[in-house]
Structure 1
Amino acid sequence: MDVSVIGITAEAVEVYRYFLRNRGEGVGSVRQALGLDPDSIEAAVESLDRLSLLDLTDRHKVVATEPSIGIERLIERRLNELNTEIRRVLSARDAIATLVEDQKHGEAVTSVLDIERVEGLDRVRQRLDDLGFFSYKETLCLHPGGPLSRGAIETALPLDTRSLRRGLAVKAVYHPKALDDPLMAAYLRDVVGLGGQIHITEDPMDRMVIFDRSVAVVPIHPKESARGALLVREPGLVSQLVTYFDGVWADATDFRDYTEPSDDKPHLSDLERKVLAVMATADKDEIAARELDVSVRTYRRYVADLMSRLGAVNRFQAALRAKEENWI
């Protein structure tokens, strides 16, 4: 028999049954008859009184309510409570329409490109610091133009150190003009010494920083980086910027090779070496450019530069001299 669903405890049931069997007995007789401690008896008696199952007008002559009346009343009250709860639960369906509208609003917002505009150099630096702190894989950077300011270097070195010590890959490409400043050159040597990867290129490039290949930061205005930056999280755009970075990186020269060139080999980028390798074998510029995955115009520009540096009058002669000089 389980009547706990209508609020009657096991001890209260025993006390109630006692008074049903022993009409007119007092509260004091329960302890001796049931072997319960006084506190449990008192709690059970008070509970039965609240449930209207006992009449305690005279505690020395307790009257138990007839079960068909008392228990039925409690069942009816509990059913009313359950019906009220069911109606409350069903009323939650009314929230569906409102929540659907919120969903539609969210879909409309996310349909806009995920690009955040951050204005002011200080705010940009703070956001870069935050993005670098929460990155877990790598940081990719392109730095066109000259050296960083002393303040920028003092800010950047601790951030790079922290990232490298956390196991992140730091890859950055700089223009040779950056090396004109001894402080900047020392900074780059420190980064390389800590495990960072630095490349140098004379080719034009756009300023950007990419975190974990998922967030790209580019200037609002390409020639006025102090105005602010755009934080791009749109996957399609970030993917294109990563591809652009990878291309610039592949064509650039390692920092050590650029600053400490060997005696037997010239300063050549990876792409220049590939151009030399196909110059003597490709019948047409279009075929060579396609093989190198560059435009015909770019290929011809590299060929002309290499022929000039080798002092060759044609491409075949340039390829031969490159082998003789141990360029390839």
Structure 2
Amino acid sequence: MSTTGEAGGAGRADHRLVPLYQELRRRGVSDFAEVVASFGFPPEEYEGCRTELIALGLIVPTSGTHAAQDELQDAAWVPDGNTVASVDPEIALLRAIDRERARLRKHLAEADRTYSTLETLTATLLRPGSLSGSDVTVEAITDYRRIQQALEDILDATQETSCSMYPTGPARQNPERILRRDRGKLDQGIRIRSLYRSQDAGVPEAAEVLHMRAELGVEVRVAPELPITMVIVDDQYALLPLRPDAPGEGAILAGGPLLVRGFLSLYEHCWHTATPFGDDIAPDRGGDGLSEQQRNALRMLADGMKDEKIARHLGVSLRTVSRLISEVMQELGATSRFEAGVRALRLGWLD
């Protein structure tokens, strides 16, 4: 019967509580069991109704007679088992709001303490600029569990785009986990690109994973050969095998733009020589090979909008706009923004 949640708040109230509460309001102070019985509720629903209304703050246990002052002072007074007093709904609502405010203040205080503790603990571990600066870091990892954790960590840190290539295909990947992660990142506006071998598209199980990713909006391409397993996040992190000829021996986690951009150049070469996969089923891609976000940026660019205005229209940062336009120019083989607009117009991409 009760619809209250774990925190004591109420969910959707049972419609039968409304007339019951109205009768309790009419009586003011009454025997709860007697009122419930008058509505013909089964005995087993008595406690559920009572708990629900108390949780909502609409009734409070009380006594049939007023308590003496000395009884209240020495805590000798206790409410009757069945007698309750009704509470004005506006008062109940204000009390509920106060309780929620107190709960939120408590959670904010706990979050603030956690943040301060983490800040203190990590202050000596993080180098200045280690997340966005030019420091170069290289870590060799041989423990498989640590490799998986490193992969999860860098993917969770994605801000703009993630790139991956899998010469071994998706056979070793967990499809449910991949799709759940893809969906979350795409919802955040993050661009996801993934390269597979052409032969994987001919394997039903592997092709199904590629199709599902493409349907979500992941940019998937295939190539006859791929040089190395690689995952790149923004221009900050790259995860690749310790030995390309023996990928099972371990991995290298590289950090810092100066180092990662070299791997990104290799990825871009493989990407632009690969063939788009699944354009016929991906809902947010056209025959031009551009994502919907790239197409919108291209249209605004052709209309003469400045980067700042494009960023406001798309709800993204200036850095993202710069990246989108750079990707569009690469896709068109253009060396300038003007040339990109002209070529897109000629190809009918702006229709």
Greater radius of gyration (CA):
1
TM over 0.5: no
Q: Which has the higher helix share?
A: 1
Category of TM-score, reference length = shorter chain: 0.3 to 0.5
